[in-house]
Chain A
Amino acid sequence: MGAQLRVYKRRIKSVTATKKITKAMEMIAASRIVKAQRKVAASTPYATELTRAVTAVATGSNTSHPLTTETENPTRAAVLLVTSDRGLAGGYSSNAIKAADQLTERLRGEGKEVDTYIVGRKGVAYYGFRERKVAEAWTGFTDSPSYADAKKVAAPLIEAITQETAEGGVDELHIVFTEFVSMMTQTPVRNRMLPLSLEQAAEESGTKGEILPLFDFEPSAEDVLDALLPRYVESRIYNALLQAAASEHAARRRAMKSATDNAGELINSLSRLANAARQAEITQEISEIVGGSAALADAAGSDK
Chain B
Amino acid sequence: MAAELHVELVAADRSVWSGEATLVIARTTSGDIGVMPGHQPLLGVLESGPVTIRTTEGGTVIAAVHGGFISFADNKLSLLAEIAELADEIDAQRAERALERAKADSDAAAERRADVRLRAVAVR
Number of A-B contacts (CB under 8 A): 85
Q: Which of A212, A216, A228, A234 contacts B40 (CB 8 A)?
A: A216
Contact check, B41 vs A214: say whether CB atoms are below 8 A apart.
Answer: yes
Provide the residues of chain A in CB contact with B82, threshold 8 Å.
147, 151, 231, 234
Contact check, A46 vs B41: say whether CB atoms are below 8 A apart.
Answer: no
Size bracket, chain B contacts: 20 to 34
Interface of B is mostly: strand
Q: How far is the CA of A231 from the CA of B43 in the complex (A)?
A: 15
Of chain A, the residue at the smallest CB distance from B70 is: A218
Q: How far is the CA of A39 from the CA of B12 in the complex (A)?
A: 10
Contact check, A39 vs B45: say whether CB atoms are below 8 A apart.
Answer: no
Contact check, A215 vs B73: say whether CB atoms are below 8 A apart.
Answer: yes
Contact check, A217 vs B80: say whether CB atoms are below 8 A apart.
Answer: no
Q: Which of A45, A147, A213, A218 contacts B74 (CB 8 A)?
A: A213
Q: How far is the CB of B41 from chain A (nearest CB, A)?
A: 4
Within 8 A of B (CB), among A203-228: 212-219, 223-224, 227-228
Interface of A is mostly: helix
Q: Digit string of A137-165 for contact with B (CB within 8 Å is 1, else 0)?
A: 00000000011000100000000000000
The reply to whether the CB of A244 lies closer than 8 angstroms to some CB of chain B is: no
Contact check, B69 vs A147: say whether CB atoms are below 8 A apart.
Answer: no
The reply to whether the CB of A50 lies closer than 8 angstroms to some CB of chain B is: yes
Q: Which of A212, A214, A223 contacts B29 (CB 8 A)?
A: A223
Within 8 A of A (CB), among B33-50: 33, 40-45
The reply to whether the CB of B57 lies closer than 8 angstroms to some CB of chain A is: no
Provide the residues of chain A in CB contact with B29, threshold 8 Å.
218-219, 223
A residues lining the B interface (CB < 8 Å) = 39, 42-43, 45-46, 49-50, 52-53, 56-57, 146-147, 151, 212-219, 223-224, 227-228, 231, 234-235, 238
Q: Digit string of B1-35 for contact with A (CB within 8 Å is 1, else 0)?
A: 00000001011111100000000000011100100
Provide the residues of chain A in CB contact with B43, threshold 8 Å.
53, 56-57, 215-218, 224
The reply to whether the CB of B71 lies closer than 8 angstroms to some CB of chain A is: yes
Provide the residues of chain B in CB contact with A218, threshold 8 Å.
28-30, 33, 42-45, 70
Q: How far is the CA of A217 from the CA of B33 in the complex (A)?
A: 12
Contact check, B41 vs A216: say whether CB atoms are below 8 A apart.
Answer: yes
